[in-house]
Amino acid sequence: MNAERKKIFLTGGSGFIGRNLQEQFGDKYEFFAPSHSELELTDTKAVKKYMDERPVDVIIHAANIGGDRKTNHLPNIVETNLRIFFNVLLARKPDVKLIFCGSGAEYDKSRDIANVDENNFGQNIPKDVYGFYKYICSKILATLDGVVSFRIFGLYGPHEDRELRFISVAILRALKNKPIEIWQNVKFSYAYIEDFIKVLSFAIENDMKEKFYNIGSGEDMDLLSLAEIVKKVTGSKSEIIVKEPEMNKEYTCNSNLLRKEMGDFSFIDYEEGIKKYFDWLKKYDK
């Protein structure tokens, strides 16, 4: 039985997506997910040698730097990420499926991105370095066969950065009845990480009709409403403070293309997702 499991080369295996993927489907697939100390992804020869020695059926490229307040200041974000990306492409065999973790930032976050669909790609070039890097990757992937890219707008759940991600911060403050602070309210398209992992499994098992898909639950939500859900789930009396009165730029997507592809698949709603994450935190966050 184990010999029949698909073999997957996973970059970013210790990250948010990678950890959830291995926990959720570690018994279903055989993962090769080297740590940074085991494989330097910017080293062309090392990546090729590693992959030559470990034939796989699928590559999932989830590793990158940048994209959040902790890492956006790092130098050479575009160059480093592109070197990793091209090293993976160079080492990939022609018959190996490539699944890429893209970003909604590819649509250019310097403007309102409201209910955007995949056909809007390319109408604006991202001004931020992280979005620009992902944009370049999409331009390359569009020319290749056997690839699929998921433009992720927002994920939450187990193993996310609890010092940085809003839902985690809100839950942890709510548990202490401390104020939940929102610098500026904004509407997002979030999805629970468990659902996205199911999408990845679908892409592993199926030849998808398109190359690019937006990832969002289809239920857009602003941070103030999310904070209210957190209070309800946790039973907290926390005050919610919004510091800036005007809304920030919207960041939402249309994910109908993915829904059509996957048929009866549906994303869980925010209250259920936050409850599941809250239960996980109570169990594992000791």
Strand, helix or coil at 47?
A: helix
Average pLDDT over residues 67-91: 82
The structure's pTM equals: 0.94
Residues 6+ apart with CB under 8 A from 100: 61, 137, 141, 147, 148, 149, 150
CA atoms of 46 and 7, how far apart (whole Å): 19
CA atoms of 58 and 148, how far apart (whole Å): 11
pLDDT(73) > 70: no
Average pLDDT over residues 100-110: 97
Instruction: Tell me which fold the domain 2-284 belongs to.
Output: Rossmann fold (3.40.50)
CA atoms of 171 and 231, how far apart (whole Å): 8
pLDDT tens digits for 248-266? Answer: 999 999 999 999 999 989 9
User: Confidence band (pLDDT; 50, 70, 90) for 65?
Assistant: confident
Query: Burial code of 104-126, b = ≥16 C-beta within 10 A, e = fewer?
Result: bbbbbbeeebebbebebbeebeb
Domain boundaries, the chain: 2-284
The mean pLDDT value of the chain amounts to: 94
pLDDT(67) > 80: no
pLDDT at 166: 95
pLDDT tens digits for 120-155? Answer: 999 999 999 999 999 999 999 999 999 999 999 999
Catalogue the long-range contacts made by 22-31 (C-beta closer than 8 Å, 24 or more residues apart): 23/158, 24/194, 24/197, 24/198, 24/201, 25/197, 25/201, 28/201, 29/5, 29/204, 30/2, 30/5, 30/6
Average pLDDT over residues 272-281: 96
Residues 6+ apart with CB under 8 A from 169: 162, 163, 180
- The DSSP secondary structure of 180-196, one letter per residue, reads EEEEE--EE--EEHHHH
More confidently predicted of 76 and 131: 131
Average pLDDT over residues 55-71: 83
pLDDT at 60: 99
pLDDT at 75: 62
User: Confidence band (pLDDT; 50, 70, 90) for 175?
Assistant: very high
pLDDT(46) > 90: yes
Percent of the chain with pLDDT over 90: 90
Kindly give the residue spans of alpha helices, DSSP state H, lying in the chain.
16-25, 44-52, 77-91, 129-141, 166-175, 193-205, 223-234, 256-262, 270-284
Average pLDDT over residues 53-77: 81
Which two three-digit tokens encode residue 168?
A: 């985690």
> Residue 29 class from Cβ within 10 Å (0-12 exposed, 13-18 middle, 19+ buried)?
buried
pLDDT(3) > 80: no
Find tokens 């809100």 and name the residue: 170
pLDDT at 76: 84
Which two three-digit tokens encode residue 134?
A: 């992902």
